[in-house]
Every structure is written in structure tokens, then in C-alpha cells.
Structure 1
Amino acid sequence: MRAILFIVGLVLLIGGLWVVFGHGSYSQTDTVLQLGSAKLTATHDKTVPQWIGISGIVVGALLVLGGMFSKR
């Protein structure tokens, strides 16, 4: 149980730091125009919001500390 808490906490902590330092992004594709079988699409690159990174850091740090200091 301790190892699982520690590993999940580290993953969240590293992912949160990745997002906070501006490397977290994803692509979103929107259909602009569709006429019959022809389709015009646009792809936008969007960044992951900062609050998700900060919450990942906080929750990850709590899980790492919980994994380190749990009695079992």
C-alpha cells in the first residue's frame, strides 16, 4: 500500500510540474464546414489549465508524504 501511494504521488507530482512549467497541451479538432461528404476541419492546440497542474502537485505531494509516513 505504501509503495502504491508513493508511486501514484510521484506520477501526479511530476505531471503537475510538467503542466505548471507550460509543457502540457492537447489538440482539439473542430468541424468548420460540412457539405455532403466534404468536411473542412480546424485543429487548435490548447494548453492544460494551470489549476490542474497546481492541484496535481498538491495531491501528489500529499500522497508521497502519506506513503512515506504510513505505519504499514
Structure 2
Amino acid sequence: MRAILFIVGVALLVGGLWVIFGHGGYTETDTVFQLGSAKLTATHQKAFPEWMGIAGIVVGALLALGGMFSKR
């Protein structure tokens, strides 16, 4: 159980840092116009909100510390 908490905590911590430093994002595709089978689409790069990175860092640190200092 300790190892699982530690691994999940470190993964969340690294993911949170990735988002904070601006590398985390996703691509969203919108259909602008469609006529029959022909489609005109637009692709946008969007970043994850900064609060998600901060939450990942805080929760990840708590889980990692809990895994390290657990009595069991």
C-alpha cells in the first residue's frame, strides 16, 4: 500500500509540474462548416488550467509523503 501511494503521488506531482510549466495541453477540433460529406474543421491547441497543475502538485505531494511516512 505504501508503494502504491508513493508511486501515484509522484506521478501526480510530476504531472502537476508539467502543467504549471506550460507543457500540458490538448487539441480540440471544431466543425466550422459542413455541406454534405464535405467538412471544414478548425483545430485549436488548449492548455490545461493552472489550478489543475497546482492541485496535482498538492495532492501528489500529500500522497507521496503519506506513502513515505506510513506506519504500515
Question: Does TM, scored on the shorter chain, surpass 0.5?
Answer: yes
Give 1:61's aligned amino acid: A
- Residue 41 of structure 1 pairs with residue 35 of structure 2: no
Q: Which amino acid aligns with 2:65?
A: L
Percent identity for Structure 1 against Structure 2: 79
2:14 & 2:62 partners in 1: Cα distance? 13
Show CA shifts across 1:15-52 (max 9, x none): 00000011111100000000111100000000010000
Per the alignment, residue 12 of structure 1 pairs with 12
Aligned pair 1:53/2:53, yes or no? yes
- Give unpaired runs (5+ residues) of structure 2: none
Provide the rounded CA distance (Å) in 2 between the counterparts of 1:26 and 1:65: 30
Residue 62 of structure 1 is matched in structure 2 by 62
Taking structure 1 as the reference length, what is the TM-score of the superposition?
Answer: 0.98
Tell me the SS of whatever aligns to 2:29: strand
Structure 1 residue 55 displacement after superposition: 0.0
Gaps of 5+ in 1: none
* Residue 26 (structure 2) aligns with: 26
TM superposition score normalised by structure 2: 0.98
Structure 2 CA distance, aligned partners of 1:7 and 1:65? Answer: 11
